[in-house]
Amino acid sequence: MTRVLVLHSVSLLRSALAALLTKEGAFDVSACGWGTAARLSQTLRPDVCVVDLDCPGATALLEGDTEGAVSTGTTDITGTTGPTGPILTPRMALLVLASAGRPGALRRAFEARALGYVDKNGSTHRLVRAIRKVAEGERFIDESLAFGFLEAARMPLTQRELSVLSRAAEGESIAEIARGLHLSNGTVRNYMASATRKVGARNRIDAIRISQGAGWV
């Protein structure tokens, strides 16, 4: 029986996903949030880990940055750790639930070597099939997400522009961003201007809105 671990930051939704998978797929399903994910993944040794990409914690999980989860553990080969050790292990297949139109999130999942990419607006049947496939080590990508991959491949922003935009999105002023990144105010303004132009935005606020919508920042 395939063991599935559902990771979601909202408890009612992870219980709901677990109920769905138990009912429709006859999997052995557990569900938890980021806080207990490491412990549970080590105890249960799941075959497949299902992660909702739109959860705030998903980005940190995929990037191996567990600051938000009060990391005290060690870093394993995948570079992703939780409070008591690694969450994702090399033997576990990663399957992400993604929304179309968020290429930035897909890109991060791809970089974290996710094997399955399932559209959250697809059918339960597809999700069950995807879990079975990735459990066997095969890749699964929903057609509706394919365009997002294409967009993800041509991410328009440089790392510097992303850093500047992310800090601006958190409410930092030009001067604060400049201090934080050891740049001059003028350079920060230049990065903001180039990022705004590249994403086709009308102004800084619009650039942040567009970039957040796409999942770049």
DSSP per-residue letters across 45-66 = --SEEEEETTSHHHHHHHHT--
Asked if residue 13 binds its own copies (CB under 8 A), the reply is yes
Asked if residue 123 binds its own copies (CB under 8 A), the reply is yes
CB of residue 173 vs its own copies: minimum separation in angstroms?
Answer: 6
Report the C-alpha gap between 118 and 127 in whole angstroms: 6
* Subset of 150-209 contacting its own copies (CB under 8 A): 168-173, 201-206, 208-209
Report the C-alpha gap between 202 and 173 in whole angstroms: 19
Q: Is 119 helix (H, G, I), strand (E, B) or coil?
A: strand
Q: How far apart are the first and last CA of the chain?
A: 38
Among 15, 43, 184, 185, binds its own copies (CB under 8 A): 15
* Subset of 76-105 contacting its own copies (CB under 8 A): 97, 99
Which of 45, 197 has the CB closer to its own copies?
A: 197
Scanning 101-109, 119-127, 143-151, 182-190 for contacts with its own copies by CB under 8 A, the matching segment is 119-127
Asked if residue 210 binds its own copies (CB under 8 A), the reply is yes
CB 174 within 8 A of CB 164: no
CB 85 within 8 A of CB 40: no
Q: Which residues bind its own copies (CB under 8 A)?
A: 10-13, 15-17, 19-20, 23-24, 97, 99, 118, 120-124, 127, 168-173, 201-206, 208-210
